[in-house]
Amino acid sequence: MKGSKNTNYIPNLSYDCVIFGFNGKTLKILILEYHNTGLFALPGGFIKKNQSLKDAVNKGVEDRTGLTNVFMDQFQIFGKLDRSDPAATRRILDGNNEDLEKNEWMMERFLTVGHYALINYEEVDPKPDHLSDSIGWYDIDNVPQLMMDHNEIVEKALEVLRNNISEKLIGMNLLPPKFTMKQLQQVFEAILDQKLRRTSFQRKMLSMDILERHEKLFEGKAHKAPFLYSFKQ
């Protein structure tokens, strides 16, 4: 996008992605901060004219996390008239010494396609892109003020994640390939933001016939070692 009129991208349309990770205790999301602006935002970008939406988002997430084959889903397009903020865009371009005139198209109204991604926190090495100072993990209940309507996008993403966790079993994407029952429970608890009963949870998970039991995990702790599990198939 650097130093050119917009001949490459679909105009007026962007994507944003709420990237969830789980560090064993709390649910986190990736947020980036733009150079010299104090502006926080979700990772996002534009769709090339010869690129599918899916490819565009995958590419964006890969660039920022180094991960490929990330579980990801779009959940809503945000299309309000007043959601864009050209002043903020201008500040970002200014802060990076980008040519304003040549990026005029970015000041227009944008609709954005909201996505969420679930990734294994431990495998990720977030990298800031060329416009950003930093990219980092924030606890889901401690998200700073974000630009435009990005806070609303985060709220919606979390809502969708909560609705989907039980039926679609997508929580697996937040864990390493092998995990203990306790870890699985902690993921559910972090997403739903409520305590679950250990015995009921275990019974339910096992009865669903989706887990494969492996060797035990010896952590060196003074108690019975738990089994490791993976998702079947």
Partner DNA sequence: TATGTATTGTCTCACTTTATGACAATAATC
Partner DNA sequence: GATTATTGTCATAAAGTGAGACAATACATA
Looking at 2-10, 93-101, 113-121, 175-183, which segment touches DNA (CB under 7 A)? 175-183
130 interacts with DNA by CB under 7 A: no
CB 135 within 8 A of CB 41: no
109 interacts with a copy of itself by CB under 8 A: yes
Number of residues that bind DNA (CB under 7 A): 23
Residue 9 DSSP code: E
Q: Where are the alpha helices (DSSP H) in 67-209?
A: 86-95, 150-168, 181-192, 198-207
CB 166 within 8 A of CB 2: no
Structure tokens at 59: 């590419």
50 interacts with a copy of itself by CB under 8 A: yes
Q: From DNA, a copy of itself, none, which one binds at residue 151 (CB under 5 to 8 Å depending on kind)? A: none
197 interacts with DNA by CB under 7 A: yes
Q: From a copy of itself, DNA, none, which one binds at residue 225 (CB under 5 to 8 Å depending on kind)? A: DNA
Q: From a copy of itself, DNA, none, which one binds at residue 95 (CB under 5 to 8 Å depending on kind)? A: none
Nearer Cβ to DNA (164/202): 202
CB 84 within 8 A of CB 148: yes
162 interacts with a copy of itself by CB under 8 A: no
Q: How far is the CB of 203 from DNA (least distance, A)?
A: 6
167 interacts with DNA by CB under 7 A: no
Q: What share of the chain is helix, strand, coil (3-state, %, to 5)?
A: 35, 30, 35
Q: From a copy of itself, DNA, none, which one binds at residue 198 (CB under 5 to 8 Å depending on kind)? A: DNA
Query: What are residue 160's phi and psi, to 5 degrees?
Result: -65, -40
Return d(Cα 189, Cα 11) in angstroms, integer.
40
Q: From a copy of itself, DNA, none, which one binds at residue 197 (CB under 5 to 8 Å depending on kind)? A: DNA
Residue 223 DSSP code: S
Interface residues for a copy of itself in 67-96 (CB under 8 A)? 74, 76-77, 79-81
The residue from 215, 224, 232, 233 that contacts DNA (CB under 7 A) is 224
The two beta strands, 111-118 and 9-22, are parallel
189-216 burial, b at 16+ Cβ within 10 Å, e below that, comes to bbbeeeeeeeeebeeebeeeeebeeeee
The contact set with DNA (CB under 7 A) reads 180-182, 197-200, 202-204, 206-207, 216, 218-227
The contact set with a copy of itself (CB under 8 A) reads 10-13, 47, 49-54, 74, 76-77, 79-81, 109, 111, 113
